[in-house]
């Protein structure tokens, strides 16, 4: 490993050559460095006086180049240290994993769930030879929170937030990608990363190709892409037809050709809701991208060794935080059920339909059990679905929990047990209770008629 302090010699030589003091130069602010030592030099320059602007610009450029070098060294050293804890791969027993996450995807859009409007032959093919869930619940109606729940196996009430209310992954070593990485997988994330406070590379992704939430806010035709922290730019118009979904798939297909053949791959492809032209059928575009992926896996003879899991993060658009009624409506069961289809070897063979109550929290637990990463612990809400006989009573007996923050700092809370749903609105001490079996649209409050159910929802810990 390279010692980063050697890079500071360049800075000291430049500084000690001396610049005569003549007048104070008011130059425009330079980008802030990531390294604390470089930032200190930048601040020192801003507070000093120099002869001319060219000298200052040259010194700023040296600082930026040194900062980039120090950052690369730091990342390289961190990767070397991490690899010490990486388990040797077992290619014979570890399937490849492709997790396909789709924002704003409802069951009513897919042919395998009974839709007659959308044409989804590729997705229907996955369901025809795989496991299709009819009661798979999103972790949150908010796309960022739903992604957080998927990556951690925890419920939204445990989310840490910054001052702006954005979710933060405070334990990056216990994420889905981290579990795959420690189990010996080559990990990758392709598409839109929705958590701006967390670097995907810190979550043990060997490869990140896509956009962060800040740099790519639902732009259908991006003009740049982030490749492991480096921004690549190009010029294009909408007529070029190179949209973000096509780029996501193309980058994943290219990575298939460059993959480490000595390791199984564990990849996440995320298709974020975009502002496509109205004439475009988004669901048919999604199906075409999945078809490209399946064809390439078949071409490379990888399909029979790969587990593909397609699921919706959310089924509706994100509600406004200042509208409590809209938030409550988004938590209704008819909006929280999302598509979930698993197609793959060993753990999920053949055509099956499962009505067992499952959700986003079970993704990390399931994949962790398949790759046998013992680091996964039981402090989470999720249960493994591997080997489930599709009528697992322990899954139906769980209490599931949601918490959606509002603009006032309060939260709309909901809990689910069996076919019962409890909802607490901000400022209202009374719990509303709905019987989903007889009232699927959650219209009639039956709290007074079933005090024993309320007691169960209040006293039972989530996930137990």
Q: What is the pLDDT of residues 44-53, one digit of tens each?
A: 888 777 777 7
Q: Where in the sequence of the chain do the CATH 3.40.720.10 domains occur?
A: 96-396
> What is the chain's length?
464
Nearest to 416 by CA among 355, 358, 366: 358
160-175: b (≥16 Cβ within 10 Å) or e: eeeeeebbebeebebb
Local confidence band at 313 (pLDDT 50, 70, 90 cut-offs): very high
Residue 175 pLDDT > 80: yes
Taking residue 460's Cβ as centre, other Cβ atoms within 10 Å add up to 15
Of the listed ranges 89-93, 163-167, 328-332, the one predicted with least confidence: 89-93
Q: Find the mean pLDDT for residues 253-265.
A: 90
- Give the span between the Cα atoms of 319 and 332, in whole angstroms: 12
Percent of the chain clearing pLDDT 70 (strictly above): 81
Q: What is the DSSP letter of 403?
A: E
3-class SS at 297? helix
- Give the span between the Cα atoms of 287 and 120, in whole angstroms: 5
Q: Where in the sequence of the chain do the CATH 3.30.1120.10 domains occur?
A: 402-459
- Give the span between the Cα atoms of 454 and 432, in whole angstroms: 9
Q: Find the mean pLDDT for residues 115-129.
A: 88
| pLDDT tens per residue, range 261-278 | 888 999 999 998 876 665
Nearest to 96 by CA among 270, 338, 262, 267: 267
Residue 118 pLDDT > 90: no
Assign a CATH topology to domain 402-459: Arylsulfatase, C-terminal domain (3.30.1120)
Most confident region among 6-10, 28-32, 93-97 by mean pLDDT = 93-97
CA distances, 200 to each of 151, 176, 228, 229, 375 (Å): 11, 11, 9, 9, 20
Q: Does domain 96-396 have CATH number 3.40.309.10?
A: no
Q: Can you tell me which residue has the tokens 């199906």?
A: 287
Please list, in sequence order, all residues whose beta carbon lies within 8 angstroms of the beta carbon of residue 229, skipping any fewer than 6 positions away. Answer: 75, 199, 201, 208
Cβ pair 51, 20 in contact under 8 A = yes
């Amino acid at each position: 490993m390279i010692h980063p302090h050697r890079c500071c010699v360049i800075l000291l030589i430049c500084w000690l050559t001396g610049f005569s003091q003549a007048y104070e130069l008011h130059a425009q602010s330079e980008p802030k460095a990531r390294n604390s030592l470089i930032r200190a030099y930048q601040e020192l320059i801003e507070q000093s006086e120099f002869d001319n602007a060219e000298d200052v610009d040259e010194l700023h450029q040296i600082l930026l180049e040194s900062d980039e070098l120090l950052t690369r060294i730091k990342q390289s050293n961190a990767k070397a240290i991490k690899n010490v804890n990486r388990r040797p791969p077992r290619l014979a027993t570890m399937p490849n994993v492709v997790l396909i996450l789709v924002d704003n995807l409802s069951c009513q859009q897919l042919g395998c769930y009974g839709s007659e409007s959308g044409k989804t032959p590729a997705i229907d093919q996955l369901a025809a030879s795989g496991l299709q869930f009819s009661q798979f619940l999103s972790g949150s109606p908010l796309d960022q929170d739903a992604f957080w729940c998927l990556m951690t196996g925890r419920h939204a009430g445990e989310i840490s937030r910054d001052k702006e209310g954005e979710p933060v992954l405070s334990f990056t070593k216990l994420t889905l990608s981290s579990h795959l990485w420690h189990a010996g997988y080559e990990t990758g994330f392709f598409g839109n990363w929705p958590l701006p406070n967390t670097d995907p590379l810190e979550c043990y992704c060997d490869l990140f190709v896509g956009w962060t939430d800040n740099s790519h806010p639902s732009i259908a035709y991006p003009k740049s892409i982030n490749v492991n922290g480096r921004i690549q730019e190009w010029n294009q118009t909408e007529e070029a037809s190179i949209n973000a979904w096509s780029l996501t798939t193309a980058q994943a297909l290219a990575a298939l050709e460059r993959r480490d053949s000595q390791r199984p791959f564990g990849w996440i492809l995320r298709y974020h809701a975009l502002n496509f032209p109205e004439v475009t059928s988004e669901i048919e575009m999604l199906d075409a991208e999945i078809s490209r992926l399946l064809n390439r896996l078949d071409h490379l003879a990888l399909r029979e060794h790969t587990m593909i899991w397609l699921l919706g993060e959310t089924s509706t658009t994100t509600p406004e935080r200042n509208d409590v009624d809209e938030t409550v409506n988004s938590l209704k069961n008819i909006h929280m059920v999302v598509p979930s289809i698993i197609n793959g070897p060993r753990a999920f063979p053949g055509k099956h339909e499962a009505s067992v109550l499952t959700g986003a929290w079970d993704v990390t637990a399931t994949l962790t059990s398949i790759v046998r990463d013992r680091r996964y612990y039981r402090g989470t809400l999720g249960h493994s679905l591997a080997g489930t006989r599709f009528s697992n009573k322990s899954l139906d007996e769980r209490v599931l929990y949601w918490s959606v923050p509002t603009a006032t700092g309060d939260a709309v809370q909901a809990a689910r047990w069996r076919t019962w749903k409890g909802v607490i609105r901000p400022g209202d001490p009374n719990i509303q209770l709905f019987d989903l079996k007889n009232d699927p649209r959650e219209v009639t409050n039956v709290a007074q008629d079933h005090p024993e159910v309320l007691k169960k929802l209040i006293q039972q810990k989530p996930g137990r």
